[in-house]
Amino acid sequence: MAKSWVNSAERIGSDLHLELSGPGSTRAALIDALREAVRSGRLTPGTRLPPYRSLAADLGVARNTVADAYAELVAEGWLTARQGSGTQVAERAEPLRPQRKHVRVPVKTPPRARGPRHDLRQGTPDASTFPRAAWLASYRRALQEAPNEVFGPGDPAGRVELREALTEYLARARGVRTEPGRIVICSGFAHALRLLSRTPVLRGTLAVEAYGLPFHRELLADAGVRTVPLPLDEHGADVSRLARERAVLLTPAHQFPTGGPLHAERRAAVVDWARARGGVVLEDDYDGEFRYDRRPVGAVQGLDPERVIFVGSVSKSLSPALRLGWMVLPERHVADVLAAKGEREAWVSVLDQLSLADFLSSGSYDRHVRRMRQRYRSRRDRLVAALAEHAPHIEVTGVAAGLHAVLRLPPGTERSVLKAATWAGIALDGLAEFQHPQAPRTPGTPGTPGTPKAPEPSEAAVPAYDGLVVGYATPSEHAYGAALDALCRVLPPEAG
């Protein structure tokens, strides 16, 4: 019967697993096991083997047995032995290559798919601008100052240092009213949705804006949450259409993707609705820090912390790779969310949490956001100027805030422009893909000449027009000019 042996790491500094099996002496079995380990590539050239005494003790064999096995393999060229260097796998020893009886036909590796030459998709910041030096400084401080208990199981709500830093920052920058005990750390908005869908908060029917991320709707559908669309106009989502729903998902600071804040009267109205219905408003503050041509819009949560769940992350301000987000919850929902999160699963790295806490409290986050706000405003201005010069007939909207703009296209041209963009190596998003599938479309845009009469409340219609959602944050600085030139070349000409 084969025996498995593992030598002691504290004696030789590494582990070596050997199977001693087969008839014959222990010495022969050991030689075969070592030879097979080299043949298979498990012991690579240059690997240092345990000393005789250590391996003999672990295998329960005589020291001379190991010495004889090593000596024979040295003579055969499998191993080398030098004074002061111990016994090592010989550099010329090669792993065993299985012999095949049939002719081997070379298999060509399929070429790696080429990415777009110009990435103008929405949703990601310029990766080249990540503040590496400042983040590294925060990470080092966090690691050096972290108490020992940081490396234990931890708190499912997240590190208190980060929750305290967020309490101060969100109150100052976003007008959020909260305390550390009502913040739960998550990995982003999608993670927050998954957690909330496991609680009574998002069970049943959820009202959403007629335009939004399909991924979020799919995530909710998979969790058994039915979504119904609210129409949009120049004042944002028409919350007067809320009916029997008990929850509504909004992007009130900057409607995604059409742009524009939720009007003040509607912000107050949706809070009044939540109070009257015993419902909740889910506020997605996906790019709340980036405002250019108007005063910052505070969080709806500030109007009633017991009726609004505020969700934010660093995906747009720093990087989606960090997977750091937060939920600011009404007190009555904290326990349910923590129960859904679990004791050990779906946690964000504790060291990343501590690093973000330091990044916030040291002022590095504010400095980075201000710097990026200037950079992205310049990007926005360059986009608007390029369109004014090369395609003045294309209307650009939603540019007072955020990291993307909407380009309104002539009717019936969205698909052809997207196809032309693909051929030109441009990655773009069409406006139609963000529309809720149950939202009927009406021609025209509210507030513009020729707009038909507003639909009846039961219709929940949204204005229909072709468009592009252009992300101006994604390309690196040196690539942005070429991306704008390529975009202008694929836009449809002015109708004659």
Which residues have C-beta within 8 Å of that of residue 358, sequence separation ≥ 6? 138, 139, 141, 142, 364
On whether the pTM is more than 0.75, the answer is: yes
* Strand ranges for 21-117 from DSSP E: 79-82, 86-89
**CA separation for the pair 183, 179 (Å, rounded):** 7
419: helix, coil or strand? helix
Contact 475, 427 (CB under 8 A): no
Maximum separation of any 2 CA atoms in the chain, in Å: 98
- For range 310-330, the mean pLDDT: 96
- Name the phi and psi angles at 407, rounded to 5: -105, 120
Indicate whether 62 pLDDT > 90: no
Domains recognised in the chain with CATH numbers:
3-89 (1.10.10.10), 131-363 (3.40.640.10), 368-490 (3.90.1150.10)
Structure tokens at 382: 């360059």
Report pLDDT digits (tens) over 88-102: 888 865 554 544 444
Mean pLDDT of 442-461: 40
The answer to whether residues 249 and 206 touch, using CB atoms and an 8 Å cutoff, is yes
Digit-coded pLDDT (tens) for 135-168: 999 999 999 999 999 898 888 999 999 999 999 9
Per residue in 246-271, pLDDT tens? Answer: 999 999 999 999 988 999 999 999 99
Residue-by-residue DSSP string for 338-393? HHHH-SSSSPPPHHHHHHHHHHHHTTHHHHHHHHHHHHHHHHHHHHHHHHHHH-TT
Lowest mean pLDDT among 88-102, 174-188, 469-483: 88-102
Give exposure, 296-311, as e/b (b: 16+ Cβ within 10 Å).
Answer: ebbbbbbbbbebbbbb
